[in-house]
Homo-oligomer: A and B are copies of this chain.
């Protein structure tokens, strides 16, 4: 292994000079700088990350965590967590060329209590990105005690740097799209209760209705867990109990939409001829699903990119004021909504 010492000897300078060159210290004469650089190149020297970390007391890794509900994961009874992967993709991209490595960890929760990430406990990281998930205040504050640079992705969490999604206006846009296509009896299958995003989505739903002068009907606003079976059960209830059916459905997530589609396929109810469907998320479930659904797309990679930038900012300046950026949405038309005239 080539060390800074070897480089120094070969270049005929001291360790400190080499170190300064590596760290782009402007004090070094250009001449010596290039001499050292060429020796580094020739010898194939690379910095020993551990040594750097030890001396500087700064870690060269960032962390990203997600929450796990092991029993349900990837099953129709649960949510496929595609959000996590899409966001992680954005982080990867933005991380290129930096000196940071990216550590991942899955957080288990037992009885609703989330375990503190191992990489936080063992002090391996300089900053942490938390992707979505439902966690308690206790959890996040314990983390911040140990590590000051934390950014939350996917929700607007008070007092923490966040990259949030505009769930309210995303939903508003989706519902308005349906209304503009002539629908007035719209069923909204929202996400689970006691969730910030669910509340925001409800606001968006109500706003769009109000603007169009459509009265809010409790029966047309359902709540469902983020899962295929949740969507399936919800739509089944509506179709089996109600005599009148909505002309359009909007779902709070792709997993819920998957359940709805499955029910319609079973009943041979075709989209969009028989009923219109649109959804919020635009994950690979919708991208690869059948039929393709018109969807609210949130550019999740952008969430990762912004998150990384915010984390860098926070690390650089721990005293910076709290910031929350919101990633815009757009609607992707895939023809699953029929234009009707009432």
Contacts and interface: CB of A to CB of B under 8 A. Distances in A.
A268 B265 contact: no
Interface in A259-305: 261-262, 264-266, 268, 270, 284-285, 287-292
Interface residues of A, number: 54
B290 A265 contact: yes
A80 interface: yes
A74 interface: yes
B103 A61 contact: yes
A50 B50 CA distance: 5
A105 B93 CA distance: 9
A265 B261 CA distance: 12
A320 interface: no
A49 B124 contact: yes
A86 B74 contact: yes
Contacts of A266: 291
A61 B93 CA distance: 21
Copies in the complex: 2
Contact of A262 (B85, B92, B285, B292): B292
B102 A105 contact: yes
A107 B175 CA distance: 40
A196 to B, nearest CB: 24
A129 to B, nearest CB: 12
A54 B46 contact: no
Contacts of A93: 70, 106
B101 A46 contact: no
B287 A284 contact: no
A137 to B, nearest CB: 22
Interface in A70-96: 70, 73-76, 80, 82, 85-86, 88-89, 92-93
B287 A75 contact: yes
A69 interface: no
Contacts of A254: 288
Contact of A122 (B49, B92, B104): B49
Given A50-B59, A89-B106, A288 B289 contact: yes
Most buried by B among A75, A80, A121: A80
Contacts of A89: 73-74, 106
A103 B105 contact: no
A47 interface: yes
Given A287-B75, A287-B76, A289-B289, A104 B92 contact: yes
A92 B106 contact: yes
Nearest to A115: B96
A287 B79 CA distance: 11
A123 B121 CA distance: 23
Contacts of A46: 121-123
Contact of A80 (B53, B261, B265, B288): B288
A258 B258 CA distance: 13
A119 B96 CA distance: 11
A85 B80 CA distance: 10
Interface of A: 46-51, 53-54, 59, 61, 70, 73-76, 80, 82, 85-86, 88-89, 92-93, 101-106, 118-119, 121-124, 228, 254-255, 258, 261-262, 264-266, 268, 270, 284-285, 287-292
